[in-house]
Amino acid sequence: MAGYLEAARTKEAVYVRAVGLGNFNNAGPLREYCEKAFDEGLRNVIVDLAECTGLDSTFMGTLMGFMAYDAGKGETLGPVAVTVVNATPPTMRAMSSLGLPKILHVKEEPISFPTCKLERLREGWQDKRRRTLLIRDAHVALMKADKDNEARFAPFVEALVKEAREVLECDDGPADK
């Protein structure tokens, strides 16, 4: 099962439920949804993994990146807090392998998700450039979060930076080059 995300905003937080895989394919729409909420002053993201079967590094890095989000407006709204609830053994293993429980707030006891109208986020990508930048940003966040991730992801990030440059060059010039 590929996986999808459902999300809702309240006055207090963004609530996200991952169903199936939390991966690079649904991390982009999640980031867009949450950044709109951050720009409007929300500073809490609660991610429910009860129905999640697995997490990839881009999805986990996107969550880590939320904690360093800056709207770029010179406002001091405070940091974004990310809380993970109802982690399953596979999702906990994935997060632990990248050091996330040291930084994210992971609730050990089962938590009932609040009653709110969740909407299913779109899936997939709009363009290659944004996808490449999201994947790069997610892995940079993972490297900043835990020094052990540098050896694992530095070559990958370097390749993504090269790919991003190539994509940008292709976007600026004529298509028949």
Q: pLDDT for 16-62, tens place per residue?
A: 999 999 999 999 999 999 999 999 889 999 999 999 999 999 999 99
Do residues 47 and 85 touch, judged by C-beta distance below 8 A? yes
Q: pLDDT for 87-125, tens place per residue?
A: 999 999 999 999 999 889 999 888 888 888 999 998 776
Cα separation values, 176 from 129, 156, 162, 165, Å: 19, 29, 21, 18
Residue 59, pLDDT score: 96
CA nearest to 68, candidates 76, 58, 56, 79 = 79
SS3 117: coil
H or E element: which one contains 4? strand 4-9
Q: What is the DSSP letter of 79?
A: P
H or E element: which one contains 9? strand 4-9
In order of their start, the domains of the chain are 4-172 (3.30.750.24)
Place of tokens 């992971």: 106
